[in-house]
Amino acid sequence: MAPMTEFAVNDPYRYLEGFGNYHSSEALQGAVPQVNNTPQKPPLGLHTERISGSAFTSPRDQYLQTFLYRGQSSLLHDDFVPLEVTSGYGAGTSAAPAHINPNSYFWPSFPVPEQANWITGQALLGSNGDPVKKEGTAIWVFSLTEDMPARHVFSSLDGELLIIPQSGSLDIQTELGFMMVRQNEIALIPRGVRYRVTLPGGKPCRGFVCELFQGHFRLPDLGIVGTTGLANVRDFQIPTAFFDGALVDGKAKANNKNDGGEWTIVSRLAGKLWHCTQKHTPFDVAGWHGTCYPYKFDLGRFCPLGNTLFDEHDPSLYTVLSARHHGAEPGTAVVDFVIVPPRWNVSEDTLWLPYYHRNTMQEFFSVIVNNQEPAFRFNDVGRVGNRFAPFGAGLHGAMSTHGASDAEMRAAQGIDTSKPKKLQTDGLTTFVLETERPLVLSEWAYACAQKNPQAKGRLPAKM
């Protein structure tokens, strides 16, 4: 059997494959012109538009751009104005970072809204840097119980979004096509790309978003590891073009019915929400080609590497995606996305728990439910609803000592390490977001956190 997740939720969409590859997709045959990116008269009466995800003079291997051929230019909309919306988490969950200190933090759970969609269901946990200066990153918590309102789309103008469902699924329609993103999958939406989020079957979904203000997520270099292992290029899936309309008399006609129904574009800029309206559908892209696109990845396809004799390897060996800091010294990352999935351990005379550690990076951690059974205790909607479970998350600041409890350490020292054992078989995958700068917590995140929990012996045994 192939090493991939047997998802409980069916994926009805088709995908292209290959991380970073140059891709092309047509919803209407002939929509993408040959050779000339910007013909005087684009095929099928379409309009040419380009999304540039990097500077024009970026090195060729780092340059991100995509040409879109759409029914109407996205230029046609009214003014963006501030969107005053009360988060589903409550009025106190402002997007302003406010608290920083040397303590570790632990969230046994997060307060969750009774009703929320993708616009109202995100709350800022913490951030570093500044989106206006394109520095650093932010971490958001989301908990959804309903679809986005009809004719509404969302985009981040601050950075590209790494979406990490903890439990549940998201049906995401982007300008470049559809993605079904389920628990034990991750998805990335480039900066500025517009999309709409609905819930398959109306079931709640909860999780996290890492918003990258600078650079882009990429696969880590493998060095002496060679050409395969960890997250492989071929296992990333990219949506195929979808045109909200039809071909009529040789012309692409979008579904822009004159029924008085406008589309609302909601965008996040400098951490705040703005909105405008337009009369045409944003999903009128009949074809596209380029390297700047959404994608998703099944974490069940991640190929863990480890030692086969003794000692503990560095957690960098579990890195799925990394955003390099090109202006800093080699090997420096703005943020790394790391997972600790089910795997075999075969190292002899070695402690099978991470040693006590102080790290120059900040470590934000939580879990993803990889068990797909509806009756699994953390999937049972009747039992957990949209509550974060088995716990919310934790954060270790830079040079904040962390590690196992005394009881866990004593138990690990009694293990027979001469026999291989499969670890992390409890239906959960741990993930870590390691950031180079300290996270400054929002008011609500600070208020509901346990401070320095390990010193008080309150971290769960699972950690």
In tens digits, the chain (463 residues) has pLDDT values of: 668 999 999 999 999 999 999 999 999 999 999 999 999 999 999 999 999 999 898 888 888 999 999 999 999 899 999 998 766 565 555 667 788 888 899 999 998 888 999 999 999 999 998 999 999 999 999 999 999 999 999 999 999 999 999 999 999 999 999 999 999 999 999 999 999 999 999 999 999 999 999 999 999 999 999 999 999 999 999 999 999 999 999 999 998 765 558 999 999 999 999 999 999 999 999 999 999 999 999 999 999 998 889 998 888 899 999 998 877 778 889 999 999 999 999 999 998 888 888 988 999 999 999 999 999 999 988 788 888 999 999 999 888 888 888 888 999 899 999 999 999 899 999 999 999 999 999 999 999 999 877 654 444 444 3
Give the sheet arrangement for strand 23-26, strand by strand.
23-26, 285-290, 65-70, 47-52
- The amino acid occupying position 426 is D
Cα angle vertex 452, ends 446, 453, to 5°? 100
Q: Is 445 helix (H, G, I), strand (E, B) or coil?
A: helix
Q: How far apart are CA 52 and CA 265, in angstroms?
A: 19
Give the count of alpha carbons within 13 A of 169, CB side only: 18
CB neighbours of residue 416 within 10 Å: 7
Residue among 238, 320, 244 nearest 283 (CA):
244
Residue among 352, 357, 354, 321 nearest 339 (CA):
321
Q: How far apart are CA 141 and CA 147, in angstroms?
A: 17
β pairing state of 152-156 and 263-269: parallel
Contact 31, 44 (CB under 8 A): yes
Helix (H) or strand (E) holding 267: strand 263-269
Q: How far apart are CA 376 and CA 288, in angstroms?
A: 41
The predicted pLDDT at position 87 comes to 64
pTM of the model: 0.95
Q: How far apart are CA 158 and CA 271, in angstroms?
A: 7
The predicted pLDDT at position 462 comes to 40
Q: How far apart are CA 336 and CA 327, in angstroms?
A: 16
Instruction: Evaluate the CA torsion angle 17, 19, 21, 24 in order and state its sign.
Output: positive
Q: Which residue stretches of 372-429 are H helix?
A: 381-384, 406-413
Cα angle vertex 364, ends 381, 132, to 5°? 105
- What distances in angstroms separate CA 319 from CA 75, 189, 302, 380, 409, one per listed residue? 39, 19, 10, 30, 25
- What distances in angstroms separate CA 456 from CA 2, 213, 221, 452, 459, one per listed residue? 43, 35, 39, 7, 8
The predicted pLDDT at position 157 comes to 97
- What distances in angstroms separate CA 201 from CA 60, 164, 372, 447, one per listed residue? 42, 19, 15, 34
Residue among 66, 101, 63, 6 nearest 287 (CA):
66
| Contacts for 1 with CB less than 8 Å, ≥ 6 apart | none
Contact 323, 209 (CB under 8 A): no
Tokens of 77: 């909309």
Q: How far apart are CA 93 and CA 142, in angstroms?
A: 12
CB neighbours of residue 215 within 10 Å: 22
Residue among 166, 146, 216 nearest 188 (CA):
216
Tokens of 198: 């609905």
Give the count of alpha carbons within 13 A of 98, CB side only: 13
The predicted pLDDT at position 463 comes to 35
Residue among 456, 90, 71 nearest 278 (CA):
71
Q: Please give the radius of gyration of the chain, using alpha carbons only, rounded to the nearest integer.
A: 23
Give residue 373's region: left, alpha or beta (phi > 0; psi -120 to 50). Answer: beta
CB neighbours of residue 92 within 10 Å: 12
